[in-house]
Structure 1
């Protein structure tokens, strides 16, 4: 069985700045030359800097294969090389080195209005895009009504697309790309432009495309969307492949890599303009004073949050605990959300000026063995404003010393840690 996409040692190099052999001058250079004052205006150092350049590798030795029906989620931080990879696969740009083999028609949606001519109407652009994909006019006419209905732009079909909103652009562009039956569908984060209802329609359509045996490559920063749509993943770090495999494995690697602090994490204090800010978050095992990154199953533990406040105020501390693939399994706040604070709880709202220490004591640890991630947020009393937010910043392990007890690691869901108490000092 042949792969639909075969990528072998793909690299892409860009040049930052200006090459020394580029001879064009700026307007400033021309003016200085005209008045003969270049030497007095620019010293030798600046002239040497002018024309300097730096090589930047957006991708380096990328290799992977995709098979018929694969739905591959490509994830990574901004600047990791995700969009560059999609542009190379879409033949928008050429790689510096390496080889790509694509078997079948490719439809890509990388930017709003990809492949559209702004002066043509929506109707004309449907036929233009179909022709670019290699479809005959008869084939396009067969799918025409479905495309228009899915995009919900029938009223504006004979209007030049330059007058479309960005959301209308995306709806029509995606509908064309998905309905003209390409063997390979490539979609970047562009779907975030559309409204929530249309995003759900798009994800459903991509799921259908994959189930029909076609191949989908999808870039998104939304791990929930990636997990729902894709069955495989590719994780990029600074132009290199860090992890490939099942989507669960790849998302887990991505989430844990960005929460690599174990036991305790501290944050810088460079910003002086703040209401309240988190200085550190730590996990302490019951009976100990040191921070711990490993906790025994069913043993109590404490989450310590040290906060600096610029003034006295009333605020709420929220702790979120996620599993290894980034799913929130529980959230705990220093007051009961939706209830008026009692006298006993009011002390957990009050921040004194300076350093405040909050402790969340979890007396019954019912978290199943595995890896967990903690994030913390400081809210205003009304919960409408977040003074500081530190998501997914610290990890800890729950271990099972009872080897006879079996846990299904695939199970997940919300956990209610009812036996927990807050205190501030």
Structure 2
């Protein structure tokens, strides 16, 4: 198979602080170095893209010296912790922004789904946006028309296809955006984590479509995700980014195992106020989380079969009353497979906020049904189905093996990671 995408020594540098302050002096300095035949001084400086420490320099390298190539029909997964540079890399590959150094060579059309509503005009209807996106990709009106019904059916938005996109929920926008990007015959499809907004049924359908594109139609897919199960099912190779650097690239299982062993440690900080990698409109904001054992003592190590509580501190950042609030906690195992979901809408609990109100949401979990091991969770909130605050991998906790069945026996980890009460009975024939 021929190489369809090649990245050579690409780097991306950003200026920290207020954009535009002091740039004239920097431009003069760059010009002065240039006329003397010296290297640009701002290609030499720049802090490492380490999000856990305060910056002490004016510039930061979001990506540094990235090299890789992708063959036609290949599915390349891109993984790494939040802030590693994954989304920046996809923006460079999609031509949303240009690299500071290096070159990117591609063959054919690129379709991207990087953020919710990418490429959509909010005042236009879903149908009109399909035609606009197709025109941007260089397709004729007749080509788009031939694909129109298939796109609409795949998105599941038939009822609202002639409604302005600004009226769509986040999930509807993502479904339509993916349907457009996948069906307008791009040679390269670039998909970011936004797919996680959709429901489980749509995620399964979207992954199936990406598999069909790569194996059946010979299309190339670049896929960013925190879900290791999706990466394993879909990708032929994986690239691991760390602090803007290419830490490892290779076969899927090798890279995922390396990542899980080296980098997926439990988050030690419980303060979420400074997390910059959150998504949403910001009307609600997660501030802090904590776990308590059945004695009410704060802990990060829970025990299987014991009662426990999770406390989530959250604030309404607006000066108006908010209702129709959904708050959910998605719990994953150490391979990023979703184990269960804690959600107020599933328990019919209505949550409302007064203007600027602060709340502590307590989630009570009787007889914790998780087997011993390491777990991670994502925090999600929405208002009227629009994302308010969403933090992927917000934190983690450890579960110790316990006597879940009160029989004096501890079930070992080979028996699965989810426990449930059950009863055997013998009925004579």
Q: Tell me how far 1:250 sits from its aligned partner.
A: 1.1
**C-alpha distance in 1, partners of 2:269/2:209?**
44
Report if aligned partners of 1:90, 1:106 keep a CA contact under 8 Å in 2. Answer: yes
When residues 20 and 69 of structure 1 are mapped into structure 2, their CA distance, relative to the original with a 3 A threshold, is same
Q: Deviations over 1:200-253 (max 9, x none)?
A: 110100010111211000000000011111111000000111111111111111
- 1:253-294, CA deviations, whole angstroms, 9 ceiling, x for partnerless residues? 11111268xxxx99899999852525799xxxxxxxxxxxxx
- Long gaps (5+) in structure 1: 24-51, 282-313, 323-330, 346-359, 368-374, 383-425
Q: 1:170 aligns with which of 174, 179, 187?
A: 174
Distance 1:146 1:16, change over 3 A: same
Structure 2: distance between partners of 1:132 and 1:6: 23
The whole-number CA distance in structure 2 between the counterparts of 1:64 and 1:186 is 15
- Aligned counterpart, 2:263: 258
What is the number of equivalent residue pairs in this alignment? 281
Contact 1:107/1:182 (CA < 8 Å) preserved in 2?
A: yes
Cα distance change, pair 315–277 in 1 and its aligned pair in 2 (3 A): farther
CA contact (8 A) 1:171 1:198 kept: yes
Distance 2:144 2:189 in 1: 17
Contact 1:243–1:250 at 8 Å: present in 2 too? yes
Aligned to 2:94: 90
Matched, 1:319 2:372: yes
The 1-side partners of 2:79 and 2:135 are apart by 31
Q: Give matches, 1:386-405, under 5 Å.
A: none
Q: Distance in 2 between matches of 1:333 and 1:75?
A: 30
Summarize the alignment of residues 25-104 of structure 1 with structure 2, pairs less than 5 Å apart.
54-104=58-108
1: CA distance between counterparts of 2:66 and 2:130? 34
Matched, 1:21 2:89: no
| Residue aligned with 2:249, SS | strand
Find the aligned partners of 1:80 and 1:186 in 2 and give their Cα distance: 17
1:158-307 maps to which residues of 2 (within 5 A)? 158-211=162-215, 212-258=217-263, 274=292, 275-278=297-300
Distance 1:54 1:127 in 2: 43
403, 406, 429: which one aligns with 1:335: 403
Contact 2:290–2:299 at 8 Å: present in 1 too? no
Q: Partners of 2:267 and 2:123 in 1: how far apart?
A: 54
The residue that corresponds to 1:116 in the other structure is 120
* TM-score where L is the length of structure 1: 0.59
1:145 counterpart residue number: 149
CA deviations over 1:332-381 (Å, ceiling 9, x no partner)? 84124xx4x35x57xxxxxxxxxxxxxx797xx999xxxxxxx9x9x9x9
Whole-angstrom CA distance in 1 between matches of 2:260 and 2:291 = 30
**Once the 2 structures are TM-superposed, how far is the Cα of residue 2 of structure 1 from its aligned partner?**
3.6
* Cα deviations by residue, 1:126-162 (Å, 9 ceiling, x for unpaired): 0000000111111101111100110111111111111
Ranges in structure 2 where 5+ consecutive residues have no aligned partner: 25-55, 272-288, 304-365, 376-398, 422-429
Deviations 1:30-72 (A, max 9, x none): xxxxxxxxxxxxxxxxxxxxxx961100000000000001101
SS in structure 1 of the partner of residue 112 of structure 2: strand
Contact 1:7 1:64 in 2 (8 A): yes
TM-score (norm 2): 0.59
Per-residue CA deviation, residues 365-417 of structure 1 (Å, 9 max, x unaligned), is 999xxxxxxx9x9x9x99xxxxxxxxxxxxxxxxxxxxxxxxxxxxxxxxxxx
Partner Cα distance (1:279, 1:157) in 2: 48
Q: 2: CA distance between counterparts of 1:249 and 1:78?
A: 21
- Secondary structure of 1:118's partner? coil
Greater C-alpha Rg: 1
Contact 1:266 1:279 in 2 (8 A): no
* SS in structure 2 at match of 1:17: coil
Q: Is the 8 A contact 2:290 2:298 kept in 1?
A: no
Which residue of structure 2 lines up, in the alignment, with residue 132 of structure 1?
136
Tell me, yes or no, if the aligned pair for 1:227 and 1:248 is still in contact at 8 Å: yes
CA RMSD of aligned residues (A): 3.6
Give the corresponding residue for 2:36. Answer: none
Q: 1:61 to 1:152 in 2, by over 3 A?
A: same
Instruction: Give SS of 1:4's match.
Output: strand
